[in-house]
Chain A
Amino acid sequence: MDRAIEAHGLEKTYPKGVRALDGLDLEVEAGTIFGLLGPNGAGKSTTVKILTTLTRADAGEARVAGHDVVRDAARVRLAIGVVGQKHGVDPDATGCENLVLQGDLYGLPPRDVRRRADELLARFGLEDAARRLARTYSGGMRRKLDVAAALMHAPRVLFLDEPTTGLDPEARAAMWQALEQLAQEEHVTVLLTTHYLEEADRLADRLAIVDRGRVVASGTPEQLKSELHGDALVVELAEESPRALEAVSSVRSVREPSLAGRVLRARADEGARALPSVLAALEGAGVPVATATLARPSLDDVYLRHAGRTFAEAEEVRA
């Protein structure tokens, strides 16, 4: 199988002693959309920075489009397009100028630069704004311009570092649609980082869950979810109670119970049958219940299982 991205044992510690990557491995097949999913600070952006030659790993090696990111950085740069977390749009230039500059930087034949720029402006619905300064663009438009710029030289691998962070729901949906269409039409391999479970679920063919600088699980979203047999039970207690975990553990049809604050989680093959027993057990132990919900496994559950904490908890630790 043709691999667009391969990384082995990537490690990186920042000057202040923050360990961003702790032996990260990654393999991405050509022509797929690959999602790196994890909370803020998990190491996703650092991975992208290393793979895009922006910075170097302390240990480990990586190849992108067949070239080593350190020894062959120049070749890697020609083969990739990058949309960084801080959008790299020049606000003091027009949309068109932003794209033309990008064409010059990648050494496109001068006569092709304008044509390609117009083509991409049209594809992202920015024709009418092409001659306006980018500082007048909305957040969603800027992000689209950013993606368009990254595509100017028709890269083989496109990196998108949290492409929809900070966008309102409408702009996010529009961006998702644009990216789906892109993957179909441009034959480009996409590596996308996100901390939105929904985004990874919708866009990625395969994904890797990253936690504390390592990949803790990988596969297709369906595979990852089907690893978790049965339904997820989430019971919110009216007040914190150490007895709750013990009470639920005694219910036989329930697996993997865990308690975080007032939130009790567990799995059951048939959730609807297990729920009354769970509620009865809690009542028997004198634990008041506020709400109880039952859900098909989500990526959040996958994350909880592999990282040992929920997404929200991991995000809080960073904040």
Chain B
Amino acid sequence: MSAALFLRHVRALTVRQLLALWRQPWFVAITLVQPMIWLLLFGALFKRVVELPGFESGSYVDFLTPAIVVMSALFSGGWHGMGWINAMERGLLERFLVSPVSRAALVASGVAQQVVVILIQSLVIVGVAAAAGARLTVAGVLVTLLVAALLGAAVCALSDGLAFVARQEETLIGAVQFVAMPAMFLSSGLMAAALIPGWMRDVVRFNPVDWAVTAARTTTGSGVDWSTLGVRVALLAALGLACTAVATRAVRVYQRSV
């Protein structure tokens, strides 16, 4: 298949999903409720946590903002597979699979749509954080958007892969509930790295959520820590590609059982 046709497929399928979302904007609004609670209530509740020795940040909202953007991307990506389960029940997935569309284009369109949604959600969160007094830099916001999109893309692909294999909503709901919150707590998102208990730190180092959060915070110090940022971004991009490949394989598993 030609690259032009592949891109046409991805574009057409992405636009389809974005149009559907555009027609029910309340859905995007609802997904923003949780991040707002974290940012505004949790942020206010733990405001004085920065006074603990080991916290380098002067303001907890400054510290928390990139983490909430990343958390939002994590949940948003995690739920994406629900759309495919819906498409299976409606017979839409079958329609796509008997058409010339490649499995890779199907998965890529889902990821592309998710990235657009994550960017919009992230901008809203950043805007509210700024209104709540967070001091943000343009570089900081751009890097945060980038890592949120990369992590969200990887999680979205994983969620899609699980959807294709499990084919039922319950499994996906269980997986998101079971993985997302612990992944958040096992990172330096909500608490300074220096204050995380020793036994947790080994896990934290291998947690992609932590890669994203630490990458986003590389711009807050004096000057950008390019090497940390570069490594984290590369890791997240590699993870995204790997997850996309897994999801593409998962479509084949789905086809074997229909």
Contact = CB atoms under 8 A, between A and B. Distances in A.
Interface of A: 14-15, 49, 52-56, 74, 77-78, 80, 82, 84-93, 97, 101-102, 104-107, 133, 149
Q: How big is chain B's contact interface, by range?
A: 20 to 34
Nearest to A92: B20
Given A101-B16, A104-B8, A85 B91 contact: yes
Contacts of B100: 74, 77-78, 105-107
Contact of B12 (A55, A77, A91, A105): A105
Nearest to B101: A105
Interface stretch (B112-120, B214-222, B250-258): B250-258
Given A53-B98, A105-B13, 9 more contacts: A54-B94, A55-B256, A84-B94, A87-B90, A87-B91, A88-B91, A93-B16, A101-B16, A105-B12
Contacts of B92: 88-90
Contacts of A86: 89-91, 94
Interface of B: 1, 5, 8-9, 11-13, 16, 19-20, 23-24, 89-92, 94-101, 255-258
Contact of A90 (B1, B89, B90, B257): B90
Nearest to B19: A93
Nearest to B105: A105
A56 B97 CA distance: 13
A74 B9 contact: no
B257 A15 contact: yes
Given A54-B258, A90-B16, A90-B20, A104 B95 contact: no
B250 to A, nearest CB: 15
A79 to B, nearest CB: 10
Contacts of B98: 52-54, 77, 80, 82, 84
Among A87, A105, A106, max chain B CB count under 10 A is at A105
A97 B19 contact: yes
Contacts of A89: 90-92
Greatest chain B CB density within 10 A among A74, A88, A97 is at A88
Contacts of A56: 255-256
A70 to B, nearest CB: 12
A93 B99 CA distance: 18
A85 B11 CA distance: 27
Contacts of B89: 86
Nearest to A53: B98
A106 B1 CA distance: 12
Contacts of A92: 19-20, 23-24
Nearest to A94: B19
Q: Which 9 pairs from chain A and chain B are nearest by CB?
A: A86-B91, A88-B95, A104-B12, A92-B20, A88-B91, A105-B99, A52-B98, A82-B98, A84-B91
Nearest to A14: B257
Among B11, B13, B19, B97: residue with most chain A CB under 10 A:
B97
A93 B97 CA distance: 19
Contacts of B95: 82, 84, 88, 149
A105 B12 CA distance: 8
A55 to B, nearest CB: 5
B16 A91 contact: no
Q: Which of B16, B20, B98 has the most chain A CB atoms closer than 10 A to its own CB?
A: B98
Contacts of B19: 92-93, 97
Contacts of A55: 255-256, 258
A132 B19 CA distance: 14
Contacts of A88: 90-92, 94-95
Contacts of B20: 90, 92-93
Nearest to A150: B95
A107 B8 CA distance: 8
Contacts of B11: 104
A54 B254 CA distance: 10
B91 A54 contact: no
23 contacts: A54-B94, A55-B256, A56-B255, A56-B256, A77-B98, A77-B99, A78-B100, A82-B94, A82-B95, A84-B91, A84-B94, A86-B89, A87-B90, A87-B91, A88-B92, A90-B16, A91-B90, A93-B20, A101-B12, A101-B13, A105-B100, A106-B100, A133-B23
Nearest to B256: A55
A115 B71 CA distance: 45
A201 to B, nearest CB: 27
A52 B98 CA distance: 6
Contact of A104 (B1, B9, B255): B9
A229 to B, nearest CB: 42
B258 A49 contact: yes
